[in-house]
Chain A
Amino acid sequence: MGFLSWLEQTGLATFVRESPSFYGYPTFLFAHTLGLAVVVGISSVVAARMLGVASGIPLAPLRSLFPLMWAGFLINLISGAGLWLADAVNKTIPGDGRQAPIFMTKMFFVIVGAVLLLKIQKKLSGPEADSNTPSSEMRFLSASLLVCWVLAMIAGRLIGYTSAILG
């Protein structure tokens, strides 16, 4: 707790939380939404393709989309770190009506989602892409990814409603 409290008092955390500047909290939030649109947006379309939507799309060229997806993920890692820093105790230590339980639920699904995305990328870089018919393992990974992203978005949105949910 002491370390987290100290983190909250660092210059960056104070800037994100308290600066009246547009480049503080509003810009971090915007970046977080943009990163979401990029990484979750593109990867969801790719996952839908694996599950049979627009099956005319060849798989091999999709490989070049992954650097862009990871760029979106990186934007969210950085902007998310800033937002977390500004409110570290509340989002990390459970109890006293703090947001930690819901925030950590979101983190769980984000991490599982990122691992699944990495596995999809690995599989796609192999011979999987040659046939244009995704294997059942690829379909399973894709369906799981979509579930993870939806749950992460629900949990993420509900962080702000902690008091209504946890009382």
Chain B
Amino acid sequence: MNYAHIHIVLNHFPTIGTVLGFGLFVAARVKKSEDLQKASLVVLVVMALLGIPTYITGSAAQGIVRNDAGISAAAIEVHQNAAMLAFLFLGITGTFAWLALWQFRRFSRPSSWNITTVFLLSLLTVGLMIRAGTLGGDINHPEIRAEGQELADASQISWRTVGQTFIFDNSWTWPAAETLHFIGLTLLFGVAIMVNLRAMGMVKGVPFMSLHRLLPMGVFGFLLCLLTGMMFFVGNAERYVAVPTFFVKIGLIVLAGINLIYFTMFDQAWEIREDQDAPAVTKLVAVGTLVFLVGALYFGRMIPFLE
């Protein structure tokens, strides 16, 4: 099994999952079911998280198949552009879906503007994901191309190249992105340490409810890291995919993200009152989150030394 294989397995999740999440979201509106709506939002957030390894293994897969006979470099380029756009909107959709989950917990219902936003974004993302998936299928499946279908237009501008030009032709972009990556990780860790240590039993005088208010700040820090991290990755994908532990880092980030969903919406966490001990499950999730995050920090810091 190599990264091309993992990409082929992984790519189905965000594609089909986004369709599923959107379908559940619509069904929830029709049936006026809160549980169904929460479920649809969770699906959308998880799909956005899975989008990260899907995009990254895709870049690795490209390096593996690019020079094979019968593979069109232009088809790869077109799929890559479509995938980049789909990934961007999947991430934005996941962010607003997470915000809706957070609002559900804090205000018992998401704000109506956000419901509309998630609806429109997920609809758009469904279209973009299907398009990216179809163009990806064209790369290595001649049997599914329509008869006489021209393979991708080789003259299409590669957005990756545009991104690389922006990143490398300006002396300030790389150090600026690195600085923001550090500021983002500081915010993320500050919030994560406080929330998870409280769950584990430190600062017990603080009710969990009041810390829940901090979560958007931590997510903002994570988004700063994700955005600048994707800049590094797009600028230098070959370098990163060559480091095996880079994939460990990405996996740990996805796991930490899933734990975030727990602390965003579960009663077990929300109901920890002042001076109250958290249930064992909550403590376990908290230990897990900190292990995942420190692991991600470690494997991130080690990237330059493992090339």
Contacts and interface: CB of A to CB of B under 8 A. Distances in A.
Given A149-B186, A153-B186, A41 B213 contact: no
Q: Give the contact-size bracket for chain B.
A: 35 or more
A161 interface: yes
A157 interface: yes
Nearest to A40: B186
Nearest to B171: A164
Q: Which of A43, A58, A60 has the most CB of B within 10 A?
A: A58
Contacts of B217: 45, 48, 53
Q: What are the nearest 6 A-B pairs in CB distance? A: A61-B205, A41-B190, A56-B210, A37-B189, A54-B213, A41-B189
A30 B210 contact: no
Interface residues of A, number: 38
B203 A33 contact: no
Contacts of A158: 175, 179
Contacts of B211: 54, 57
30 contacts: A26-B302, A26-B305, A29-B301, A30-B297, A30-B298, A33-B301, A34-B294, A41-B186, A41-B190, A42-B190, A44-B186, A45-B194, A53-B213, A56-B209, A56-B210, A56-B213, A57-B210, A57-B211, A58-B205, A64-B203, A65-B194, A65-B202, A65-B203, A149-B186, A153-B183, A157-B175, A157-B179, A157-B182, A158-B175, A161-B175
A93 interface: no
A15 to B, nearest CB: 15
Contacts of A25: 305
A111 interface: no
Contacts of B182: 33, 36, 153, 156-157
Given A58-B206, A61-B206, A45 B305 contact: no
A32 to B, nearest CB: 9
* Interface SS, A side: helix
B193 A41 contact: yes
Contacts of A33: 182, 185, 297, 301
Contacts of B194: 42, 45, 65
Contacts of B213: 53-54, 56-57
A166 interface: no
Nearest to A149: B186
Contacts of A153: 179, 182-183, 186
Please classify the interface of chain B as helix (H, G, I), strand (E, B), loop, or mixed, using the class held by over half of its residues: helix
A38 interface: yes
A3 interface: no
Contacts of A54: 210-211, 213-214
Contacts of A40: 186, 190
Contacts of B189: 37-38, 41
B269 to A, nearest CB: 15
Interface string B190-234: 110110010000111111011101100100000000000000000
B196 to A, nearest CB: 12
B39 interface: no
Interface of B: 171, 175, 178-179, 182-183, 185-191, 193-194, 197, 202-207, 209-211, 213-214, 217, 274, 294, 297-298, 301-302, 305
B179 A44 contact: no
A64 B201 CA distance: 12
A57 B305 CA distance: 41
Contacts of A26: 301-302, 305
Interface string A46-60: 001000011011101
B206 A57 contact: yes
Given A33-B297, A44-B190, A45-B217, A62 B203 contact: yes
A38 B290 CA distance: 12
Interface string A138-167: 000000000001100110111011001000
A156 B183 CA distance: 12
A119 B61 CA distance: 53
Contacts of B171: 164
A44 B207 CA distance: 19
Contacts of B202: 64-65, 68
A161 B294 CA distance: 27
Contacts of A156: 182
A82 B183 CA distance: 23
Contacts of A30: 297-298, 301-302
Q: Which of B189, B274, B294 has the most CB of A within 10 A?
A: B189
